[in-house]
Amino acid sequence: MKIAIDIGGTFIKAGVIDSEQNLYSYQKVKTPNNKDRGIVKEVIRIIETYKQEFNLNNPDVGISTAGVVDSKKGEITYAGPTIPYYNGTNFKKALTDIAGNVEINNDVSSALLGELIDYNTDVKSIFLLTIGTGIGGAYYEDKLLEGKQYRACEIGYLLYDKNTGKTYEDRGSTTALKTSIQEQYKEVITVEKLFNKAHANDEKAMKILKEWANHVAEGIAQIQIMFDPELILIGGGISKQEERLIGLIEPFIDDYLPENYGHAIIETTSKGNDSALYGAVSTFYN
């Protein structure tokens, strides 16, 4: 039994996962202010709770987290405005007295590791694109690609437009889509409701989605050119739209590639927003 913890800017999710990929005692709590090491304190509380509930002694703990992570040191090297006061937090040091082995990875990398559990070993190269508040990426080919400063695949910063000051994630994130919805509708329309409207042939909804999907497709074309993966997975809450999402984005991808270039298979993630929890502890079971 391994303890899995996923730290986001809004919530911390946690559970205990066994070797058969069964998830127990799932919990979701609001991410505390980290000014006084609130996140570390909450992580310690979660671990102590699971130790008592499952009678665990020096348990292995896998942590998935927002921010740039030095996975060897177990330290957050950059979090930006996502989680204030988070830079420099070192979980391996903080958990020395209450846990056994501690593994920590960026949340998108963890999500990709979680998805790899379900894929046949014949698939050698996978890129995970997460679309949510921002846009994140992770690439696996024999191992995770991390980069010298652990900042590989920060694709949300691609495609910067000097005239508008906007990046790929400024145009292709779910946040960007929600902004477009608010500009076009006076009533409150959720992303899910927008997809339903478009599916019912609502012209305004389809126009908004096609403009947004065009931006998403442009980034996917760059991923194809740079990494040449066999499979591109789309994760984040919007992945719940599954085939409706893929069918919307895929027709635009070739517009940003050389003629007859081709692209990887595009799919949505299988575990949704829980992929990172499974991925956080996946290395313990390999």
- 3-state SS class at 131: strand
| Whether residue 88 is found in the same domain as residue 140 | no
Cα 178 from chain centre: 19
d(C-alpha 242, C-alpha 238), whole Å: 8
Phi, psi dihedrals of residue 152, rounded to the nearest 5°: -65, 150
Give the CATH number for residue 217. Answer: 3.30.420.40
Residue 15 and residue 28 in contact, taking contact as beta carbons nearer than 8 Å: no
Q: Same domain for 170 and 215? A: yes
Mean pLDDT is lowest, of 34-48, 85-99, 114-128, for 114-128
Residues 126 and 100 in one domain: no
Q: Which domain, by its residues, includes 142?
A: 119-269
Q: Supply the pLDDT for residue 5.
A: 97
Phi, psi of 107 (to 5 degrees): -65, -35
pLDDT more than 90, % of the chain: 70
68-80 per-position pLDDT tens digit: 899 899 999 988 7
Number of domains forming the structure of the chain: 2
Which pLDDT value is given to residue 155?
87
| Residue 277 counted as domain residue | no
Question: Do 92 and 29 have their domain in common?
Answer: yes
What is the pLDDT confidence band of residue 142, given thresholds at 50, 70 and 90?
confident
**Cα gap 286→164, rounded to integer Å:** 46
**pLDDT tens across 173-202, in order?**
999 999 999 999 988 999 999 999 999 999
According to DSSP, residue 35 is labeled: T
Indicate whether 203 pLDDT > 90: yes
| Pair (51, 161) in one structural domain | no
pLDDT in tens, 95-139: 999 999 999 999 899 999 998 887 766 778 999 999 988 888 999
In a domain, 78, yes or no: yes
* pTM of the full structure: 0.83
Considering the domain architecture, whether residues 83 and 174 belong to the same structural domain is answered as no
